[in-house]
Structure 1
Amino acid sequence: MTGYWFRAKRFGWGVSPASWQGWVATLVVATLSVAIAFLAKRFGTAFLALLIPVLAIYVMLCVNKTEGGMRWRWSGEN
């Protein structure tokens, strides 16, 4: 896995997909999150046992695959 999948936002803290791999990862997480949310009606707060690991893995992926790293940005600084 080489190359960056995400690009840092110009202001503040956050990333956006910059390659097809980043878009696929984002869509997979969004789809899983919606599917897990449907479980909330049936299982109450137990759905968090599934949702938290999915989001944690996505955040770790974003941190490791973001061009320029994850940090607060004031403007177009590098």
Structure 2
Amino acid sequence: MPSDEPRYWFPAKRYGWGWGPPVTWQGWLVVVIFFALVIAGVFLVPPQQSAPKFIGYVVALCVILTAVCWWTGEPPRWRWGGDDR
């Protein structure tokens, strides 16, 4: 029976603020693409040639990953471990 509750790609962490590991294939695909792009960055923007450019590249990827988690994950808030979902 389908649920009216939205299916989040990234569930909230039980303790603290943020998201846990993905629970859908779409979420896992996002994580795999993120790590693939970080590894590709080692070759596209070699850190030994320009560390600031590489750091900027990785920071940009992290910002994009955070935005995807924000849009497709549970609303972020501080959690203390209670089962108050």
Q: TM-score, normalised to structure 1's length?
A: 0.80
1:13 aligns with 2:17: yes
| 1:74 corresponds to | 80
| 1:40 matched residue in structure 2 | 47
4+ residue runs over 4 A deviation: none
The answer to which structure has the higher helix fraction is 1
Alignment identity in percent? 33
Runs of at least 5 residues in structure 1 that lack an aligned partner in the other structure: none
For structure 2, the residue ranges without an aligned partner over 5 or more in a row are: 1-5
Choose between structure 1 and 2: higher strand proportion: 1
Letter in 1 for 2:64: I
- In the superposition, the TM-score normalised over structure 2's length comes to 0.75
For residues 51 and 60 of structure 2, what CA distance do their matches in structure 1 show? 17
User: Which piece of structure 1 moves more, 47-56 or 18-27?
Assistant: 47-56
